[in-house]
Amino acid sequence: MIRIGEIDHVVLRVRDLAAVQRFYCDVLGCREERRQDDIGLVQLRAGASLVDLVSVDGRIGRHGGAAPGLEGRNMDHFCLRVVDYDEAAILTHLRAHGATLGSIGSRYGARGEGPSIYCFDPEGNMVELKGPPHPG
C-alpha cells in the first residue's frame, strides 16, 4: 500500500521565468532554493513543498509542447496552505502587488472546509491560498 504524506512539488511550465519567479517570491513569499539554468529549472521553497518553474524554451520545458496560454493550460490550479491566515491582510497584500484575484470563499481542502482565495500568477496559473478549517 502507498501512503501519501503531502504534496512534494508542483511543476509549472512558464514563458517568462523571471516574472513568474518574482510573483512567487515577492508576492507569495516563496524563496529560491535551487536553480539549474542549464536545463531551465528554478525550484522555489513553499513551506514543506516546492514549486518548480520550468522555462518552456529550456531543455525540460521543450518536452511539454506549446507554451501555456488562454486556450491551453498545464493544470487547473494548485493550493498552498497559508500559516496564520488573515484574509483581509492577504487581500491587501495581493492588491498592493497588483495580483489578479479570483473568487474568495469557503472550500474543502486536505484539512477540511475553510476559507480560500484564488489568485493568478503573471502567466495565468491559478493559485489557491488556503486557510485553516472551520472549527467543529
pLDDT at 2: 60
Confidence of residue 58 (pLDDT cuts 50, 70, 90): confident
Cα–Cα distance, 58 to 39 (Å, whole number): 6
Residues 110-117: what's their mean pLDDT? Answer: 91
Decide: 116 and 79 in contact? Cβ < 8 Å.
yes
Residues 82-111: what's their mean pLDDT? Answer: 94
Q: Is the pTM of this model over 0.75?
A: yes
Domains annotated on the chain, with CATH: 9-61+76-130 (3.10.180.10)
Instruction: Give, in degrees to the nearest 5, the angle at Cα 76 between 128 and 136.
Output: 40
pLDDT at 94: 96
Number of H helices, E strands in the chain: 2, 8
Residue holding cell 490550479? 77
Provide the 10 A C-beta neighbour count for residue 109. 16
Confidence of residue 59 (pLDDT cuts 50, 70, 90): confident
* 3-class SS of residue 10: strand
Report how far Cα 12 is from the mean position of its chain's Cα atoms: 8
pLDDT at 131: 92
pLDDT tens for 9-34 read: 998 988 899 999 999 999 999 999 99
